[in-house]
Structure 1
């Protein structure tokens, strides 16, 4: 487990770059707004907001978390990208999280999510006004879901 000061920039290989493009393209297509102006992998990494995404496995696993996400969840990139996304919520919050993901699957995105999450060291925090959206390619195929938020408070 890394401390926030030791979080290194991940290798932006071709696969990760394509996934980051999909995060940005899907956000724009669904919300009508850019996730970030002039988004590049480096700008997403250093964005002044949390950005996370998971795939569509039977138990979805995060494949991306930017620097702010890793600091908040108190994990390094390698650990975070092996974490089933449901473990970002406490057991009592997982049912609510499941309802949220069903809503996103049905509607494409939501922009009013609030909920409690937990860091790797057990610190609890409440996120507010999160946007959660489907990662949809040009053929309409869903590749996962992503979320972004810049409001949270410790509990």
Structure 2
């Protein structure tokens, strides 16, 4: 079953975000079903989530994230999340994810990522948080990407 518009998975994403950051991931007043569709189809920011595997795999990427990284749903949800960064950036990415695990979330993150075609870009002002279900079980990590910027020669 696809998690793209799954209301139960949406609740894990949005409830974890609200608990940790004290704000809503979607416009107020939406049901879980409406929020799941809005987040996947219409959100103006990218959302990614990976699972708890030893080499975590993306289990979710909304339409905006698919556009940013150049993968369709099936490609993205088969991709180890570490491959969203180039090899030299992976150790910095891993240290950052360990900080998220320790603190629950990190805001205003900036890092270099790579598209399917190999184009490098900055993610700016990202928020990454721990995904916890209603029973308190760890379910992975998620990231909101509100801004991306092409890398230029001056970077």
Structure 1 length as normaliser, TM-score?
Answer: 0.88
Are residue 107 (structure 1) and residue 100 (structure 2) matched?
A: no
Query: Does residue 43 of the first structure (1) align with residue 38 of the second (2)?
Result: yes
CA–CA separation in structure 1 for the residues paired with 2:104 and 2:120: 28
- Per the alignment, in what secondary structure is the counterpart of residue 55 of structure 2? coil
Q: Does 1:91 align with 2:81?
A: no
Q: Could you say if the C-alpha distance between residues 85 and 11 of structure 1 is closer, same or farther in structure 2, counting changes exceeding 3 Å?
A: closer
Query: Would you say the 8 A contact 1:12–1:41 is kept in 2?
Result: no
CA distance in 2, matches of 1:19, 1:124: 30
Structure-2 change in CA distance of 1:118 and 1:30 (3 Å):
same
The Cα shift of 1:18 comes to 1.6
Of the three residues 107, 116, 134, the one matched with 2:112 is: 116
Count of residues in correspondence between the two structures: 145
Residues 137/57 of structure 1: CA separation in 2 closer, same or farther (3 Å cut): same
* C-alpha displacement of 1:138: 2.3
SS in 2 for 1:134: strand
For residue 134 of structure 2, give the secondary structure of its aligned residue in structure 1: coil
Following superposition, which runs of at least 4 residues in structure 1 exceed 6 angstroms of deviation?
none
